Structure 1
Amino acid sequence: MGYEEAPWIFKGRALYQLHLVKVADAKKYIPGDFHIVSLFGYTLGGFYLARYSDSPVGKFDELVALAGLVWNPPTSCAWAARVYVSNWQARNHGRRHCGLPSRMAAFEEKTEVIEKGPPSWWTQQRKGECAHDEARSHPVLLHNEERRSWLQPWKAPAQGLRTPVCSMALPPARRKGWPGPRIRLSLPSFSGGTPECPDLLQYTCQLVTNVRAVAPARVQACSGQEDNPREALPSIFRGRPVFALAFDDMEMVVNAPKVLTLPHQKGANVQPVMA
């Protein structure tokens, strides 16, 4: 099992939430070759949170912190400032082949905070099952594990190396009823400009999924993240949520990246951005 020849297929569910992000913050992570789509000093950033039940490397979780919208006629898309994944193969593939600023992380339920009510989106049941009304919801806590040993990736990280990144109070799980319209989406994506992939890249993500509007997740960067310039989450998550969508019973097909040459580049590589 692993990332062989594209296309790569991912199945599961995802949350897609957009926030207002200051252009000054977005510029820290977006190559200067791109035009940032903005209005009154703000662009649209946010996050993409996914729980994959099947992928080229099996089950894993992913959080993509989106710095803002970039424009390259005739398309625009959100630029990933940081990608957190719970699988080492996904982390390495993202950095080496897709030009993504991927890092290893642990996704955990924050069990010390318990609220009465239905399960959260994170703990919802499989397709066709209904969440029990008396179940309890646990916000999710994300830990950075990037400093774990490369030679022994299976070994637990040493004491004190797992730095909390953020906590997320997610919307409730879907109850019985109409799951929302089943639609097809084609999402163009840009990446690259990193030390591992200096060139800018483009690829497409084709989704077939049920989509529904949900209440925005409440996101809070953990203590100390504001002082860490390598983490994008505080400046992205402090913005006001604009909307949030849930993708249920999702199948996503990702094609292999291709080198993107912008009209004004004249074949030159861009300078790597902070990763």
Structure 2
Amino acid sequence: MGESATTSYSSSPSGYGIGPPWLFRGRALYQLHLVKAEIARAFIPKELKLVEAFGYTLGGLFLAHYDDSPAGVFDELVVIAGIVWNPPTSCAWASRVLVNSHEACRHGRKEIGLPSHVAIFSKRDAKASDQPLYKHRTSFIHSKPKEHSEIQVLEMEDYSQTSICNISLPFAGDRWMGPKIRISLPSFSGQTTHNPQLLKYSCQIECRVRAVKSAKVSRPRIIQLDEFSNDIRAKEKNVDDRLSTENEERDRSIAVLLSKPIMALEFNLLKMQVEAPTVVAT
């Protein structure tokens, strides 16, 4: 199989100092999954009500590549655990956010209250034939006929790298990008170590949207851990306790990613404006 691989990781200077709203431009895949309510409920604060029916809620993933942002060029994978009720509408709850930018991670944690983590996005384009692969540069979602893109997401923590998932993005079809739309995606966040308050924020999105075939998400087979890091963790019980909780949250987020997809939307010519969060009275 012919292939070309790139490991994407950004350390661009921060532009978040300009203040809100923060503007992001690029492209994304927004995929909805049926997530078991018992999995989603473990992430949801007790004061919020999960929207569910027959034991399931709507979760999924938001996979984006930003060509322009306050943190420069970077990739993002948002794991959406479920939908919570916020009369007269509902809001999404992210269980984990993975970005290949330290600046974007710090901003997400401190300013937006997101459970952000630094990650490596390893991308590979592949096709069934043995012909040399054409390396496209416009999008990891678009590709030539009979091609697909493979993305491996590795979370970085101290001295270790943990494989979160492998995402296979199928050939997206013709170049028709769909109608132009404007939508608002409200979300809750906060109640994390870095931002303990319950917050609410919204993303104002303008893009061209179309339905596409769902991406396939597979479970990682290999977890790479640094031996020195393991020795340190074994000696520190408080660190062990923290890691145990962190590992449980990571595993539940992987379960969300592995849940059944029901719809996938491709966002092209994406312009996303993120408003400053507000504190929710509890």
TM over 0.5: yes
Q: Percent identity?
A: 45
> In 1, Cα distance between the equivalents of 2:173 and 2:187?
28
Q: State the Cα distance separating 1:126 from its structure 2 match.
A: 3.0
1:126 aligned to 129, 138, 144, which one? Answer: 138
The residue that corresponds to 2:241 in the other structure is none
1:243-258 aligned within 5 A? 243-258=263-278
Confirm whether residue 240 of structure 1 aligns to residue 253 of structure 2.
Answer: no
Q: State the Cα distance separating 1:240 from its structure 2 match.
A: 1.4
Contact 2:172 2:212 in 1 (8 A): no
The residue that corresponds to 1:116 in the other structure is 128
Q: State the Cα distance separating 1:131 from its structure 2 match.
A: 4.8
Q: State the Cα distance separating 1:174 from its structure 2 match.
A: 5.2
Aligned residues: 238
CA deviations 1:95-141 (Å, max 9, x no partner) are 11111000000001257xx4338xxxxx75438xx85447x433110
Contact 1:125 1:131 in 2 (8 A): no
CA RMSD of superposed structures (Å): 2.1
CA deviations 1:177-219 (Å, max 9, x no partner) are x310001111111101112211111111111100000001100
The residue that corresponds to 1:52 in the other structure is 66
Confirm whether residue 229 of structure 1 aligns to residue 248 of structure 2.
Answer: yes
> In 2, Cα distance between the equivalents of 1:11 and 1:174?
23
Q: State the Cα distance separating 1:77 from its structure 2 match.
A: 1.9
Confirm whether residue 171 of structure 1 aligns to residue 170 of structure 2.
Answer: yes
Residues 64 and 125 of structure 1, relative CA distance in 2, 3 Å threshold: same
2:156 aligned to 135, 142, 145, which one? Answer: 145
The residue that corresponds to 1:83 in the other structure is 97
The residue that corresponds to 2:16 in the other structure is 3
Confirm whether residue 12 of structure 1 aligns to residue 26 of structure 2.
Answer: yes
> In 1, Cα distance between the equivalents of 2:143 and 2:62?
23
TM-score by length of 2: 0.79
Residues 124 and 257 of structure 1, relative CA distance in 2, 3 Å threshold: farther
CA deviations 1:150-184 (Å, max 9, x no partner) are xxxxxxxxxxx2221100011324533x3100011
Q: State the Cα distance separating 1:222 from its structure 2 match.
A: 1.0
The residue that corresponds to 1:217 in the other structure is 215
Confirm whether residue 207 of structure 1 aligns to residue 205 of structure 2.
Answer: yes
TM-score by length of 1: 0.80
Contact 2:178 2:209 in 1 (8 A): yes
Amino acid of the structure 1 residue aligned with 2:275: N
Secondary structure at the residue paired with 1:236?
helix
Amino acid of the structure 2 residue aligned with 1:186: S
CA deviations 1:209-262 (Å, max 9, x no partner) are 00000001100121378x93130333202321110100001000111111012x
Q: Which moved more, 1:184-193 or 1:230-239?
A: 230-239
The residue that corresponds to 1:94 in the other structure is 108
Contact 2:143 2:171 in 1 (8 A): no
Bigger fraction of residues in strand? 2
Contact 1:124 1:174 in 2 (8 A): no
> In 1, Cα distance between the equivalents of 2:88 and 2:123?
41
Bigger fraction of residues in helix? 2
> In 1, Cα distance between the equivalents of 2:136 and 2:115?
29
Amino acid of the structure 2 residue aligned with 1:240: K
Q: State the Cα distance separating 1:146 from its structure 2 match.
A: 2.5
Residues 124 and 174 of structure 1, relative CA distance in 2, 3 Å threshold: farther
